[in-house]
Amino acid sequence: MNERIRELLDRMTALEDELRTALHEQEDRLSYRIQDKRIEFERSVREAHLRVKTGLFRWLVQYRPLNLITGPIIYGMILPLILLDFCVSVYQYTCFPIYRIARVKRVDYFVYDRRHLAYLNIIEKFHCSYCAYANGLLGYATEIVARTELYFCPIKHARKRLGQHGLYRRFISYGDAADYAERLEQYRQSLERKQP
């Protein structure tokens, strides 16, 4: 990796850290704090949330009919999602120790904090939990596959594509064969640590 690319990657990492800090500052302005696994709002904010909450009956009456019709299709995806969850978890727990790849922590990807929002009714909270599970699972699976790709084939594609995982930017450029075997071994050793 040339020095300019390394500098750009370092700047990207610094910007990501700066973004995390700005997001935490925004949390402070929204008057909530995280206590263990519980999120607590200031009393005035919680009361304001309760005032704007849509009751269950009113929500059902105002709900878009097309959303109700497509609901079974959306929630029918739970079976493939559970199967994916099972398969990637079994894969990680059986193969990662063999390859000496640090396991992906499931808890880092599945966040169910929207249930603490008082302005959501029970159906909205259920929808949010489903989306949190689906998106958390896809992030979890993506990280497992990304670590596998880093272990076996850390080479960028010649054609650009959308939706690259976080490890991809550190991959070897397409066609750059210089010291490939040595760099591959360095990547493999980096996977033994907690974060590649």
Tell me how far apart the alpha carbons of residues 11 and 99 are, in angstroms, rounded to a whole number: 31
- Cβ-contact 191, 151 below 8 angstroms: yes
Domain for residue 109, yes or no? Answer: yes
Mention every residue, 6+ apart, whose C-beta is less than 8 A from residue 155: 171, 172, 173, 174
- The DSSP secondary-structure symbol of 155 reads B
Domain for residue 98, yes or no? Answer: yes
Residue of 136, 168, 146 lying closest to 155 (CA atoms): 168
Which tokens in the block code for residue 20?
A: 């995390």
Domain for residue 7, yes or no? Answer: no
Is it the case that residue 1 has pLDDT exceeding 60? no
**62-71, 118-127, 135-144 — most confident range:** 135-144
Task: Tell me which of 187 and 2 has the higher pLDDT.
Answer: 187
What residue numbers bound the domain in which 146 lies?
Answer: 64-190
Please count the structural domains in the chain: 1
Domain for residue 112, yes or no? Answer: yes
Domain for residue 54, yes or no? Answer: no
Q: Which of 35-44, 119-128, 169-178 has the lowest mean pLDDT?
A: 35-44
Domain for residue 114, yes or no? Answer: yes
pLDDT tens digit sequence for 67-114:
778 889 999 999 999 999 999 999 999 999 999 999 999 999 998 888
Domain for residue 43, yes or no? Answer: no
| Residue 148, CA atoms < 13 Å, CB-side half-sphere | 14
Domain for residue 24, yes or no? Answer: no
